[in-house]
Amino acid sequence: MVMVGVQGRSKQSVEDVLAFYESHFKDLQWLASTSTDADGSTRLQAGFGQDTATVTLHQLPTGLTEINAAGVFKVED
């Protein structure tokens, strides 16, 4: 199992970034669900088999969208 993560910012809205990830996981045929955290962040959780990914999106005061993504994946030789 490997764990990977990435942080970034986008000029796109939370809704646009969320739509991108929802489409991506749908194309992979992963099951995905969204929720809203107490701080107003949007969280997308997706998985297929033992592989899982979580994307958290937060609108910054600057207007940028903060993106935090992490995943755990089974790697086979």
Give the CATH architecture of domain 2-73: 2-Layer Sandwich (3.30)
Q: What is the pLDDT of residues 8-48, one digit of tens each?
A: 999 999 999 999 999 999 999 999 999 999 999 999 999 99
Give me the pLDDT at residue 77, please: 76
Model pTM score: 0.89
Q: What is the pLDDT of residues 43-74, one digit of tens each?
A: 999 999 999 999 999 999 999 999 999 999 99
Render the chain in DSSP notation, one character per residue.
Answer: -EEEEEEEEESS-HHHHHHHHHHHHHHTT-EEEEEE-TTS-EEEEEEETTEEEEEEEEE-TTSPEEEEEEEEE----
Domain ranges across the chain: 2-73
Give me the pLDDT at residue 59, please: 96
